[in-house]
């Protein structure tokens, strides 16, 4: 499974190199589909090798799945927005609707035969969900998605992305020995030291969207840490020191 995934990422790197070359040769912006954090890391490497400017955006601040855009507005002399739309999935009769999870909405969408790269983050709000997607996929979802689990739904376009609900955060404080990333990750998710360190060797930890295998990396106030299989938090810095000399740190967890 790991070898197969590595091969996929190698092919992706080759594809990104082609997109970077097209942007440079034709002096135009070229966009990727929505990328996972691991795929975004491949994009950063490809752009560095090609010496091409890239930007990432997922439709809102803090989005995890993002599109990449090759090209520099200053060099090109013009701007081109990311082709991202948002669709709200809502039950036809909310009173009788089931309680949905992120997995329920994702399953209903992918069961339509949709390529994952056309779908960005899915934000669940009550019995509704806001889905970031490509412009083409927005129309497709509105015409095609009619049911989530056993509940009839409709999809309506979100006209203004600013109207989207803000992501909910849950603030926590933990005691740690230092500001090392591995110690803070372990504290936030109540893991043993060895369990926390294993996440780094398994390439599951991302700081500000970049893969880090260095557990000794020091976190700074405002850093966003994502751990595959666990979730994401914003590090809020050192708050206090205990009588025993341990640091009290703050973290906003995405819920």
Q: Domain 169-254: which CATH class? A: alpha beta
Angle between helices 193-201 and 181-188 (to 10 degrees): 120
Q: Is the pLDDT of residue 162 over 60?
A: no
pLDDT tens across 7-23, in order? 888 899 999 999 999 99
Cβ proximity of 64 and 232 under 8 Å: yes
How far apart (Å, rounded) are the C-alpha atoms in residues 215 and 211? 11
What is this structure's pTM? Answer: 0.84
Range(s) for CATH 3.10.290.10 in the chain? 169-254
User: What is the rounded average pLDDT of the residues 108-129?
Assistant: 95
How far apart (Å, rounded) are the C-alpha atoms in residues 170 and 251? 8
Ramachandran region, residue 77 (left: φ > 0; alpha: ψ -120 to 50; beta: rest): left
The CATH homologous superfamily to which domain 84-163 belongs is RRM (RNA recognition motif) domain (3.30.70.330)
Range(s) for CATH 3.30.70.330 in the chain? 84-163
Sign of the CA dihedral running 39, 44, 49, 52: positive
Map residue 96 onto helix, strand or coil: helix
């Amino acid at each position: 499974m790991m070898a197969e995934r590595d091969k996929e990422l190698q092919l992706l790197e080759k594809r990104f190199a082609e997109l970077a070359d097209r942007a440079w040769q034709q002096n135009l912006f070229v966009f990727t589909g929505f990328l996972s954090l691991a795929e975004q890391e491949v994009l950063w490497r490809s752009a560095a090798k090609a010496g091409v400017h890239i930007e990432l955006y997922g439709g809102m601040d803090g989005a995890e799945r993002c599109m990449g855009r090759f090209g520099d507005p200053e060099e090109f002399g013009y701007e081109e927005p990311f082709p991202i739309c948002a669709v709200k999935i809502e039950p036809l009769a909310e009173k009788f609707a089931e309680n949905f999870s992120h997995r329920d909405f994702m399953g209903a969408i992918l069961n339509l035969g949709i390529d994952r790269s056309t779908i960005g983050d899915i934000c669940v709000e009550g019995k509704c969900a806001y889905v970031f997607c490509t412009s083409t996929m927005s129309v497709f979802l509105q015409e095609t998605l009619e049911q989530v689990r056993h509940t009839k739904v409709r999809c309506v376009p979100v006209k203004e992305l600013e109207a989207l609900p803000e992501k909910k955060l849950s603030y926590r404080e933990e005691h740690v020995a230092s500001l090392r990333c591995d110690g803070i990750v372990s504290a936030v998710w109540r893991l043993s030291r060895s369990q926390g360190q294993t996440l780094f060797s398994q390439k599951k930890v991302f700081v500000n969207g970049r893969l880090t295998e260095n557990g000794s990396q020091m976190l700074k106030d405002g850093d966003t840490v994502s751990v595959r299989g666990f979730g994401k938090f914003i590090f809020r810095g050192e708050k206090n020191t205990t009588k025993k000399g341990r640091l009290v740190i703050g973290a906003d967890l995405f819920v």
